[in-house]
Amino acid sequence: MIALKDTGIRSAVLLVLLTLWSGTSHSQHPGRPAMDEEVSKQEAIYQSPGEKLPEGYVVDRSLLAYASILSAEFDRSLASLGPTDRWLDIGAGAGRAILDYYTPRYDSMHVEGRERRGKKAQAVAISIEDRRTPHWHKAAASLEADKVRYLFGKRLRQYSQEELGKFQLITDVIGGFSYTQNLSLFMENVLGYLELNGSFYTLLLDVLPDNGTIRTHYPETLFLTEIAGADGSDVRVCAWLKSIACVEVTCESRTESKRPIELYRIRKVCNSVAVPALSSLQFVAGTPPQRRFQLGGPSPAPPGQANTTR
C-alpha cells in the first residue's frame, strides 16, 4: 500500500501516461467519416504485431501504473479482495497488472489485509487480441489452477454471464471503455458482470470533465469522448454515468496536465440497472479512437457493421 499510495509515484506514472497519450495517433479526420473504413483501421490497430505497435497503443502497464492512474480507492479495493472474490480486467493487453497482483512483492507492499487475502482473488483478463507473453505463460502456470484466466478473440459484449460469471472488482485502463463504439451497451455489460456493491474503476483521456470547466478552457484539446444532448449541447460523461439507475459514481478530474483526464469509480448499489442509451455519431480510429455519441434513442449498429465490432 505504502508505495502505491505514494503521490510522487502516482504523478510520475501519470506523467508517463500523458507522454504516451500526447503521442496518440489518429487517422485524418474525414469530413464524413466512412465508418466501415474507420472500423477496419481500428481492427488493424488491435491486430498490430507486438514489434510494430502504433504510437500510444500501450499493452503492458504494470499494477503500479494501474494504481497510479486509477482512483486511489482502486488500490484499497484490490487489496481487500478475499480468495473467493473475483477481479475482471477489461482490455488487459498483456495482462501484466494481473500477474503483478500474484507476486510476493505485491504482498510486501500491501501488508494490511494479507491474512484475509490468503491465496488471493481469481482474476480474469480479457483482450480482443492475444497479447500474452512467455512471461504470462510461465507465471500463470506457476499459480494454482484457474487462479487466472486470459480470454481473447471477443469483445466484452460477446461473452455470456455463464462464461464470465460475476465480479467484485472490474477495471478498465484505456481498454474497452475508451475504445468501444457503443458506450451505453458497454456500461450495461460491465454492470451486468458486477456483483452488488462491487466497483468498476476506469478513466477517460481528453474528456470534458465535470469540474465546471468549459470546452474553451482546453483550446488545444481534441476531445476523444464526447456526448451531445438531444439539442446538441455538451453532456459530461460524468453526468451521463450519474444518470444510470442503481449506481453511485465518483468522478475525479486530474489537473496535473493542461489536457483533461477524468477518473471514474462506479459502484453498483442495486440490481435494477438502467443505462440511458447513447447512439454513435462519429468514430475515428486511433489510440484511443475519437468518439462522439448522442444521448437518447436506441444505439444503432454502425452502418454495415455486425455487432462484433463494438
Ligand X SMILES: C[S@@+](CC[C@H](N)C(=O)[O-])C[C@H]1O[C@@H](n2cnc3c(N)ncnc32)[C@H](O)[C@@H]1O
What residues make contact with ligand X under the rule CB under 6 A? 46, 57-61, 90-93, 126-129, 131, 155-156, 173-176, 179-180
State the residue for C-alpha cell 462464461: 163
Nearest-approach distance from CB 181 to ligand X, in angstroms:
9
Contact 87, 112 (CB under 8 A): no
CB proximity list for 245: less than 8 A, separation 6 or greater: 270, 272, 273, 274
Nearest-approach distance from CB 204 to ligand X, in angstroms:
13
- Whichever of 122 and 189 has its CB closer to ligand X, that residue is 189
Rg (Cα) of the chain, in Å, rounded? Answer: 19
Nearest-approach distance from CB 55 to ligand X, in angstroms:
11
- Whichever of 106 and 179 has its CB closer to ligand X, that residue is 179
- Whichever of 107 and 129 has its CB closer to ligand X, that residue is 129
- Whichever of 204 and 210 has its CB closer to ligand X, that residue is 204
Nearest-approach distance from CB 201 to ligand X, in angstroms:
12
Nearest-approach distance from CB 111 to ligand X, in angstroms:
26
- Whichever of 175 and 209 has its CB closer to ligand X, that residue is 175
